[in-house]
Structure 1
Amino acid sequence: MEGAAVVMEGDDLPPEDFGEEHGWRSAAVKKHSRRTDASATERATTCGDAGGYFNAIRKDLNLNKVIKSSRMPRLPSEHWKIIVRPRGGLDVQQTGSARLGRAIAVAAGIAPELAGQDVVCPNTMQNIIVISTASRANADSYLRMRCLTLGIKQYEINTYEAAPHATCKGVIRKIDISESQTDLEKSILTDRNPSALGVKRIKNSETVVIVFDGYKVPNFVYFGTALVRCSLYHRQHDCCYACGRLGHRADVCPTPDEVVCKQCGISNPGENHTCSPKCGLCGGPHATTDKSCKQRFQLPFIVRWRRRERRAESERRSQPSEPASADVGLTQHAEAQADDCDSSQRPRSPSRSSARSRSRSRGRKDGGSSEGRPGPDPRVVVGPNRGADLSRGAGLGTRKERSISRVNPNRRCKVALGLIGCAAAEDPAER
């Protein structure tokens, strides 16, 4: 659940602790098959790189530098991702992307025409290489690489497959060492855990990592018939124990021969060097990435994504709601028709009205018809019962409709347009 994912403490789980397997290959294959089967349905995914949208406020500028430098460009979410970890002091920043791409193509044995859609992107801060490919055959070829040849020198490499896009990791503990990889898959990758894609044990420990489909880690998972507590996986900030710098691990250190004090960070300290420890993340009086450091864990992507969704939702709620354009248009149209009725039913000049009155008076005295314009028919009723009254010869209709017929023409027009109710026509001043 979301609350448990935010408050629970995670573990430092480096990829190389998963053994000699090809990383999360089985999880990626299962995720890809699910995406293919459900291509007609819309999946709630969020495109973005692994280190993007890191909005947490940090006091130490060195931490912000590490975070920004570790961000990767956006790669296609549907591609397979292969991670290459070079050893032997290979510096990917000094080597360059072009030379690395050519060396990887030669080591994998892939023809240039078959690797046209592949992407080779080095991460200079972590000193690793990320390969993105849309071909499963190319991904398997990259996983079989064991060394890179640059000039006359060969560098040993370790390759594994990253977890697929739109997934998250959970951790379960107290799993017996005697449980093999096959036993773990049979106990966890079942129908009772429908979102579980892959499972790995951390070397010889009792901690097991599970990859879940989507951005939610369940509070509990089924391990066979047992219900086991599951917590969100938190990645620890990388700190090299060879050179003492932040951003990469010791197995991929580009300068393994350079000596740096692990406590204070001074280069090439003397034999009698004494110092007070200072954390490179928070500046506290302890070694960098010490267990007492409150900033040694990275904020997981799903937590950043949920916080971003909450901020967007709160901004939408804070904005004042505007009336619908259709309702505004209907109101303006009705008011315009009412104004037209008012202008057409305005009283005439006193001279014409008095002349018409005298003509009508003479007509009554003589017993003849008037030559003036006839007045409104009293049988015309304004209201919903107009047709029913005329059909049954009711003439004047109900009492309310007779009262409406006695009011001035302007009010009858507004009643017909629906601008005022029938009860408003029964104004005592109009009687």
Structure 2
Amino acid sequence: MEVTVEGTDISPEEVSHQYGWFTIGESKRSGHERQRNNPAAHNGTDRAQGQGSMRHSADSSAKKLGRRLARQSVASNLPRLPNGLTKVIFRPLGGLRILESCGQLGIFQLIRDAAGLTLAESSEDCMLLNFKQHTILVATHSAVRVERYLNIKELTYGENKIAITSYVATPDGSGKGVIQGVPKHLSDADILANHQHPRNPPICGVRRMGAQSQTVLILFNGERVPRWISFGGGMIRCCLYKKKYEVCSLCGQLGHRRDVCPDPKNARCRGCGVANPPETHSCEPECALCANAAGNRNANI
């Protein structure tokens, strides 16, 4: 069937963009034709794009490798504990290696003896050893036993007295905020008193980030962390706490701190990792995770 439309006949060459028509696939064909007509420009563009992609891929790979190494260094492969339990963390001075001859059950018995508890009294508590971080975890639902565990200052192993520190781990489902510039003379009770304000969200605890530190960690009831809080009659900035991987300043290994280092006699330079460096040692620092030069923000993970 033929249909005749009145108008002016035009040639196929006249049907183009400037006459208000768009030919499907024309841009693709013209692009291929430009590549064939000017292969040098095409190769140069692809080469530049390829180099940029390679650099981006290398940076991404380095970041992923660093994160994976950090996770593996502190990964403890501990079983998942029930929600609602209060977790007490113990750090024995010198790490868990000094208690290896006791065995796991023997270490658990040392904890019970130091807390003045019998096996029947603590039968509902869960004790775990973290050999990565050289810590002991005790989880319980009893506030009375939590106080007993926190009062432990040393473990008696034969004729040896092993100093130990303890603290309560972050409760499940609580947000972490950090405030700075808190005077050193303020105790935890003073910090809680300064935080009491109707505009502030409820908190479940505070902890100073070091004996001589002016930075304080605040645990909020709930996962929401406010940007500003009322403290001491004024408004101060509250930053979201970012998890940091522990690095021993003695042996240079990841996953534990200096006070629980299992090999304190084998000191290493934190910059380059040289064993037992002399006092006159100088080096170019490298990242402990990815081995890139320290301070190179483009290579940070």
Are 2:266 and 1:253 aligned?
no
Matches within 5 A, 1:161-200: 161-177=168-184, 179-200=186-207
- Tell me how far 1:211 sits from its aligned partner: 0.9
- Tell me how far 1:265 sits from its aligned partner: 2.1
Unaligned runs of 5+ in 1: 1-55, 296-431
Unaligned runs of 5+ in 2: 1-61
- Tell me how far 1:151 sits from its aligned partner: 4.0
Matches within 5 A, 1:144-163: 144-163=151-170
Higher RCO (CA < 8 A, seq sep 6+): 2
Are 2:111 and 1:104 aligned?
yes
Q: What letter corresponds to residue 174 of structure 1 in structure 2? A: G
Root-mean-square deviation (Å): 3.0
Q: What letter corresponds to residue 230 of structure 1 in structure 2? A: C
Larger radius of gyration: 1
Question: How far apart, in 2, do the equivalents of 1:217 and 1:146 lie?
Answer: 33
Q: Among residues 90, 111, 114, which one is paired with 1:84 in the alignment?
A: 90
Q: What letter corresponds to residue 173 of structure 1 in structure 2? A: Q
Question: How far apart, in 1, do the equivalents of 2:188 and 2:267 lie?
Answer: 39
Are 2:65 and 1:59 aligned?
yes
Question: How far apart, in 2, do the equivalents of 1:185 and 1:275 lie?
Answer: 45
Residue 99 of structure 1 aligns to a residue whose secondary structure is helix
Matches within 5 A, 1:286-305: 286=294, 294-295=300-301
Matches within 5 A, 1:201-240: 201-202=208-209, 203-240=211-248
- Which residue pairs with 1:7 in the alignment? none
Question: In the superposition, relative to structure 1, how do residues 204 and 273 fare at CA in structure 2: closer, same or farther (>3 Å)?
Answer: closer
Question: How far apart, in 1, do the equivalents of 2:299 and 2:113 lie?
Answer: 44
Per-residue Cα deviation, 1:203-248 (whole angstroms, up to 9, x for no partner): 3443222110111111111125422221101232111111111110
Per-residue Cα deviation, 1:269-309 (whole angstroms, up to 9, x for no partner): 5788665432111321129xx999834xxxxxxxxxxxxxx
Question: How far apart, in 2, do the equivalents of 1:275 and 1:178 lie?
Answer: 38
TM-score normalized with structure 2 length? 0.69
Matches within 5 A, 1:384-399: none
* Number of residue pairs matched by the alignment: 237
TM-score normalized with structure 1 length? 0.49
Q: What letter corresponds to residue 87 of structure 1 in structure 2? A: L
Question: In the superposition, relative to structure 1, how do residues 178 and 270 fare at CA in structure 2: closer, same or farther (>3 Å)?
Answer: closer
Residue 148 of structure 2 aligns to a residue whose secondary structure is helix
- Which residue pairs with 2:81 in the alignment? 75
Contact 2:99/2:107, CA 8 A, preserved across alignment:
no
- Tell me how far 1:195 sits from its aligned partner: 2.7
Question: How far apart, in 2, do the equivalents of 1:130 and 1:294 lie?
Answer: 32
Matches within 5 A, 1:267-416: 267-268=275-276, 275-286=283-294, 294-295=300-301
- Tell me how far 1:62 sits from its aligned partner: 3.4
Question: How far apart, in 2, do the equivalents of 1:112 and 1:186 lie?
Answer: 39
Runs of 4+ in 1 over 6 A off after TM superposition: 270-274, 290-293
Per-residue Cα deviation, 1:76-121 (whole angstroms, up to 9, x for no partner): 2211111101004542784542221111111111011111111111
- Tell me how far 1:268 sits from its aligned partner: 4.4
Q: What letter corresponds to residue 254 of structure 1 in structure 2? A: P
Question: In the superposition, relative to structure 1, how do residues 72 and 276 fare at CA in structure 2: closer, same or farther (>3 Å)?
Answer: same
Residue 112 of structure 2 aligns to a residue whose secondary structure is helix
Deviates further, 245-254 or 170-179: 170-179
